Chain A
């Protein structure tokens, strides 16, 4: 068949091209531009080469923040994915319970992130917070402002509270798409509860779980607002994640060059990790 060449078609791509250029490509290039230069104000820039990248990659502060970030993401996934699956399995499949559960599950997702932070900031306060005060009254020494472990627990629990719903809703969507015949056949085959989960429910949830893991990983790796509002990165640097560190550098200290270099490294790490996740999880699919 003869192929038709019509170069006017390129004009149809132009709007998207412009949109992507202005929203992503150009800002990114600005950051690249900053990362290789130094400035002392007055809009005067000096070539700095890869100095900033050297600095970042040799700074203990950066590596510590990265480690905290990875640990945080790991804990979040280890808690939210199993918990989300468990809740989804126990949600009602029909009747009045369905809309009630769905609305309850959607609620935390609808709250703006800084509000979530504020809620937990107040909730955990020892002097007036419901949680903090109750724990203190019970004789438990809990203070997220002073104790790094308490700060971590607070941030983790807050994230679980905020985002497990997302995993639940995705898993639930996967579960309700399983035809009744599967459960009936399993009954007839004499399958145990565990077999039903292992051979029917889990395989059907696999695709949505892949998306859930990916979304929760990326989100938890970029987390900023909630810990910023609750702990401000403290006590000390104990909850200073990469994003918080980045904002401190860029906006607090106004070190544009190092901040830009850090952004690029940060971006590349997320890109790399997401790619690894995706490849590993989809390749197990392709094996079959």
Chain B
């Protein structure tokens, strides 16, 4: 188990990158605590798999260092780093038995056979495949395969970290819940540092203590699920987390007053803003009240999503989404008010703090 330090990591796939755009990973500089469960969340192509492969040593970063417990491992091979990784598509050695699959990483490291046997049997119990141990690892279901891949990582009890690269993508929805809760249990039981890559926000939010949101080769926010929801530090986080995402509305700030196309909103503080730049107001659909007071809106569409409804409306030409309860009434000439604690101000897409 180890603390992972990413020291100014940059990575470009081609040689001699000319501009920032050529970097798959622009700049990552963070420290991840020992035993933490981190989820790397972001859309396809945001650099999360690149970052994962840099941590595991399958890729060498173009710039920067990576440290495990303060020890520089940048130039060490995957094997020397002692990392386990589970891939999106389960990797099974299908000419071996299930037992041999699990024993493979141990035997490769020259561990004595009685030890191998004890650990493999333990792991077979844990992943619930004891009955399959002497079967050839063929014609297994996707979740059995993924359990074996997972078991091959967990069977080495001395790993520095376990990395997961979208491991549940190919699993059936109902099995996803089972495997996810098993993973959480393993994490509690073994206390390894865990990094989990996904583009599924539900998976990231239910799974990790800390969610690392990546966008366009950068980490835009690291926080608990609640932080990401309440105080997205970048408009992308607001948009990406939550369903529907945060409403982002162009605005002007005059002292402690927000001026929109369609009306003004009073703030209880005056945000410190540098001159110039694009100012936006961010508000989650859950914190907009629709009624007979406030700023007038035009309702364009109402979507029923079961227990709640989403009102699509236009606020001075700006499309917004509002979440209302199923039985809420939408008046004929609707107006909206914003919950003041849920207002976020963004300058050039980055959040401006209350205190500054």
Q: Is the CB of A189 within 8 A of B152?
A: yes
Q: Is the CB of B93 within 8 A of A190?
A: no
Q: Which residues of A contact B77 (CB under 8 A)?
A: 187
Cα distance, A192 to B105, chains bound together (Å): 11
Cα distance, A288 to B96, chains bound together (Å): 10
Q: Which of A190, A203, A288 contacts B79 (CB 8 A)?
A: A190
Q: Is the CB of B58 within 8 A of A187?
A: yes
By size class, the interface of chain A is 10 to 19
Q: Is the CB of A181 within 8 A of B89?
A: yes
Q: Is the CB of B56 within 8 A of A188?
A: yes
Known contacts A181-B88, A203-B94; A191 and B136 CB within 8 A of each other? no
Cα distance, A242 to B95, chains bound together (Å): 40
Cα distance, A182 to B58, chains bound together (Å): 12
Q: Which residues of B contact A184 (CB under 8 A)?
A: 53, 56, 58, 78, 85, 87
Q: Which of A182, A189, A203, A288 contacts B108 (CB 8 A)?
A: A189
B84 interface residue per 8 A CB criterion: yes
A199 interface residue per 8 A CB criterion: yes
**What is the CB-to-nearest-CB distance from B215 to chain A, in angstroms, rounded to a whole number?**
25
**What is the CB-to-nearest-CB distance from A193 to chain B, in angstroms, rounded to a whole number?**
12
Q: Which of B95, B96, B138, B149 contacts A185 (CB 8 A)?
A: B149
Q: Is the CB of A185 within 8 A of B85?
A: yes
Q: Is the CB of B78 within 8 A of A187?
A: yes
B116 interface residue per 8 A CB criterion: no
Q: Is the CB of A182 within 8 A of B105?
A: no
A179 interface residue per 8 A CB criterion: yes
Known contacts A188-B84, A189-B152; A199 and B93 CB within 8 A of each other? yes
Q: Which residues of B contact A182 (CB under 8 A)?
A: 91
A279 interface residue per 8 A CB criterion: no
Output the nearest chain A residue to B93 by Cβ-Cβ distance: A199
B104 interface residue per 8 A CB criterion: yes
Q: Mark A256-273, 1 if CB is under 8 A from B, else 0.
A: 000000000000000000
Cα distance, A184 to B57, chains bound together (Å): 10
Q: Is the CB of A191 within 8 A of B108?
A: yes
Known contacts A199-B95, A199-B96, A288-B138; A188 and B88 CB within 8 A of each other? no
Output the nearest chain A residue to B91 by Cβ-Cβ distance: A185
Cα distance, A190 to B155, chains bound together (Å): 13
Cα distance, A184 to B49, chains bound together (Å): 13
A200 interface residue per 8 A CB criterion: yes
Q: Which residues of B contact A200 (CB under 8 A)?
A: 93
Q: Which residues of B contact A39 (CB under 8 A)?
A: none
A184-B56, A188-B56 known, 20 other contacts, Cβ within 8 Å: A181-B88, A185-B149, A185-B152, A187-B77, A188-B79, A188-B83, A188-B84, A188-B105, A189-B104, A189-B105, A190-B105, A190-B108, A190-B109, A192-B108, A195-B104, A199-B96, A199-B104, A203-B93, A203-B94, A288-B136
The 5 closest A-B pairs by CB, nearest first: A185-B91, A190-B108, A189-B105, A181-B87, A199-B93
22 A–B contact pairs at CB < 8 A? A179-B89, A181-B88, A181-B89, A182-B91, A184-B53, A184-B85, A184-B87, A187-B78, A187-B79, A188-B79, A188-B105, A189-B108, A190-B79, A190-B109, A191-B104, A195-B104, A195-B108, A199-B93, A199-B95, A199-B104, A200-B93, A203-B95
Interface residues, chain A, CB within 8 Å of chain B?
179, 181-182, 184-185, 187-192, 195, 199-200, 203, 288
Interface residues, chain B, CB within 8 Å of chain A?
53, 56, 58, 77-79, 83-85, 87-89, 91, 93-96, 104-105, 108-109, 136, 138, 149, 152-153
